[in-house]
Amino acid sequence: MAIVDQAARARMLGFARKMRQQPTAAESAMWTMLRAGRLSGFKFKRQQPIGMYIVDFVCLDRRFIVEIDGGQHGETQDRVRSEWLTAQGFAIRRFWNNDVLQNPEGVFEAISRALRDNPSPQPLSRKGRGAKAKAGGRARSESESHGQRESPCESQSQGEVKAEAKDE
């Protein structure tokens, strides 16, 4: 991870703490779903600093990030951020605020499926980050590598909820 000086880290921790105290409605709804191991026992943290970024929700054991987006982020900023986090070994799922508020069951199922389908990452080798990827590790899907927003929707044929990339 990027080296962040202690003063910057202290500022970031203070900002993350403030964000936890003043969540958006969508963040509150998502935290209700994810807190206390409610999602198959997976432990999530909210407003967690990672490197020079603060992510909305993260399951550190699975290196899995959930981002809730409204209109506050720029597309270029999100792309750069997602590329950096992905390079650190995190899978990212993005959901729109209105999806979290209007279809929480679908969002919950999409996250649950993503966690089931993405096994826990292997510990880093002694050779350092990326050694496994250079040796032919699993390629990430488009949404994993770029953190595209997902919109859960009902599958007509089987009644299953699936995540699809949201048109931007």
pLDDT in tens, 43-54: 999 999 999 899
pLDDT at residue 107 in the model: 96
| 39 neighbors 108 (Cβ within 8 angstroms) | yes
- Residue 106: which domain range? 6-123+132-165
CATH of the domain at 153: 3.40.960.10
Structural domain contains residue 38: yes
| Dist. CA 29–CA 139, nearest whole Å | 32
Structure tokens of 15? Answer: 């900002």
Burial class (CB in 10 A: 0-12, 13-18, 19+), 125: exposed
Structural domain contains residue 86: yes
Sheet holding 53-59, edge to edge: 45-50, 53-59, 64-69, 91-96, 149-154, 161-165
Average pLDDT of every residue of the chain? 75
Q: What is the DSSP letter of 70?
A: S
Structural domain contains residue 31: yes
The domain tally of the chain equals: 1
Least confident of 29-38, 78-87, 88-97, 122-131: 122-131
pLDDT at residue 166 in the model: 38
pLDDT at residue 88 in the model: 95
Structural domain contains residue 1: no
